[in-house]
């Protein structure tokens, strides 16, 4: 960055979401080095997850880490309590979809409905010009508007989770570590003696953390026992409720599915292939029932409607999952994704995220025929 650019940035301020993790910490550090006036913001969204060793609410430890980072970088620290909004707008809809037998992805909604809008709302109160996060993604500004690009580190790319951001979101957002590998981020943190340089990255549901989804759902959804059926139509077992399971998941006693395998399946691993009412249909790994040659996209959303969609695009059905090549087809009011090769383990309720090389085009919820 040139001296002139740093001088220009000195006139601008940015509110960064400081989570207590290494990516947002290094993002704050880089923004300071680039000449911005930086204010940090810790968002409390969920307080029920406990530290298994101490029994303390996990968010408190993250908050302490964020405060230490802010103090070390000598930047102001503010906190937003968004637990009510997060529970009402992300967790409750997520549970409702599970009740319908869908497998939702709350992390995308978390960014779209809670994190980015509320961070910007607070930024405007503090007269900040931008908001920033530690996401591994990039923004490219063109004459046609903003494009969301994959992060430089393909193994840490988080564009999947940002696939419903708007042009308005991207116009005032910064992703300082988007051009860096995760290893480089840790090196920077270590060289500047940031105490969280080797802290493990957050996993699991956004703000909730790594939890057993069946245990999490059982707190609010009652068990509804049902049958497990083979592809031959034979009832071969039971389960506590279809809401706890997702397509492609291995049917096994460890997740509450009890099967008495008939002789023709005795040596086979079985996987959940379909949900019919409250019945789980299981199939062998090589079953055609586990693959989809056409995916319906519900609530199809384009990040930049001015972007030209090429004849052949790529799609992911999960974060960092395989990129599947295929075509986007419009049929009436619906959009379909037709992959060149059938895709295995496609779950209704998850998000299909579309790409044109490095550009994240948009996304929509998966539905099947």
Given the residues 45, 110, 128, 146, select the one marked as catalytic.
Answer: 110
Give the tokens for residue 142. Answer: 């063109």
Q: Helical H runs in the chain?
A: 3-9, 22-33, 58-73, 83-86, 92-99, 106-109, 116-125, 167-171, 182-191, 213-218
pLDDT of residue 115: 94
pLDDT of residue 336: 96
Nearest-angstrom CA–CA distance, 112 and 93: 14
Report which of 332, 347, 325, 343 is spatially closest to residue 300, judged by C-alpha positions: 332
Which pLDDT belongs to residue 204?
A: 53
291-367 is classed CATH 2.40.30.10: yes
| Residue the block writes with tokens 């999960």 | 318
In the chain, domain spans = 10-134+176-213, 222-289, 291-367
pLDDT, tens digit, 9 for 90 and up, residues 88-128: 999 999 999 999 999 998 999 999 999 999 999 999 999 99
Q: Which of 97, 77, 59, 94 is nearest to 16 (CA)?
A: 77
Its pTM stands at 0.91
| Among 45, 128, 206, 360, the one annotated catalytic | 206
Report, as ranges of residue numbers, the positions in the chain whose pLDDT lies below 50: 53-54, 207
Structure-block tokens of residue 116: 């980015």
Give the Cα separation of 120 and 172 in Å (integer).
8
Which pLDDT score is estimated for 54? 47
CATH class of 222-289: mainly beta
* CATH class held by domain 10-134+176-213: alpha beta
Give me 56's structure tokens: 């303390």
What pLDDT was estimated at residue 7? 57
Query: Residue length, the chain?
Result: 369
Q: Are strands 270-276 and 279-284 parallel, antiparallel or unpaired?
A: antiparallel
Q: What is the 3-state secondary structure (H, E, C) of 199-247?
A: CCCCCCECCCECCCHHHHHHCCCCCCCEEEEECCCCEEEEECCHHHCCC
Q: Output the pLDDT for position 333.
A: 83
Same fold, 222-289 and 291-367: no
Tens digits of per-residue pLDDT, 239-277?
999 999 999 999 999 999 999 988 888 889 999 999 999
Q: Find out whether 111 and 165 touch, Cβ atoms under 8 Å.
A: yes
E strand or H helix at 270, and its extent?
strand 270-276
pLDDT, residue 149, reads 98
What is the Cα–Cα distance from 238 to 242, expressed in whole angstroms? 10
> 206 catalytic, yes or no?
yes
Q: How far apart are CA 11 and CA 269, in angstroms?
A: 61
* Other Cβ atoms closer than 10 A to 220: 12
Question: What is the per-residue pLDDT for 215?
Answer: 81
């Amino acid at each position: 960055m040139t001296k002139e650019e740093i001088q220009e940035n000195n006139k601008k301020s940015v509110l960064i979401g400081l989570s207590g993790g290494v990516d947002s910490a290094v993002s704050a550090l880089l923004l300071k080095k680039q000449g911005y006036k930086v204010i940090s913001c810790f968002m409390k969204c969920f307080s029920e997850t406990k530290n298994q060793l101490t029994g303390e609410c996990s968010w408190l430890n993250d908050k302490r880490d964020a405060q230490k980072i802010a103090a070390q970088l000598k930047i102001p620290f503010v906190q937003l309590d968004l637990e009510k909004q997060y529970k009402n707008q992300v967790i409750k809809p997520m549970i409702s979809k599970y009740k319908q037998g869908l497998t939702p992805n709350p992390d995308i909604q978390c960014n779209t409905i809670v994190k980015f809008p509320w961070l910007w709302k607070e930024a405007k109160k503090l007269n900040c010009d931008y908001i920033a996060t530690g996401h591994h993604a990039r923004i490219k500004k063109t004459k046609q508007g903003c494009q969301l690009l994959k992060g430089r580190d393909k193994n840490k790319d988080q564009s999947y989770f940002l696939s419903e951001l708007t042009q308005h979101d991207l116009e005032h957002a910064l992703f300082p570590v988007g051009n860096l590998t995760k290893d480089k981020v840790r090196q920077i943190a270590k060289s500047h003696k940031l105490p969280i340089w080797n802290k493990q990255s957050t996993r699991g549901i956004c703000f909730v953390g790594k939890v057993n989804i069946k245990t999490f759902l059982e707190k609010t959804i009652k068990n509804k026992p049902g049958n497990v059926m083979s592809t031959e139509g034979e009832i071969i077992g039971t389960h506590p409720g279809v809401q706890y399971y997702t397509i492609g998941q291995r049917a096994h006693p460890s997740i509450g599915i009890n099967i008495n395998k008939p002789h023709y399946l005795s040596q086979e691993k079985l996987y959940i292939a379909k949900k019919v009412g409250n019945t789980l249909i299981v199939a062998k790994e090589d079953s055609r029932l586990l693959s989809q040659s056409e995916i319906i996209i519900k609530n199809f959303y384009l990040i930049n409607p001015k972007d030209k969609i090429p004849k052949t695009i790529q799609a992911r059905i999960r974060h960092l999952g395989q990129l599947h090549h295929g075509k986007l087809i419009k049929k009436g009011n619906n959009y379909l994704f037709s992959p060149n090769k059938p895709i295995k383990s496609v779950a209704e309720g998850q998000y299909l995220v579309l790409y044109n090389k490095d550009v994240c085009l948009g996304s929509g919820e998966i539905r099947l025929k």
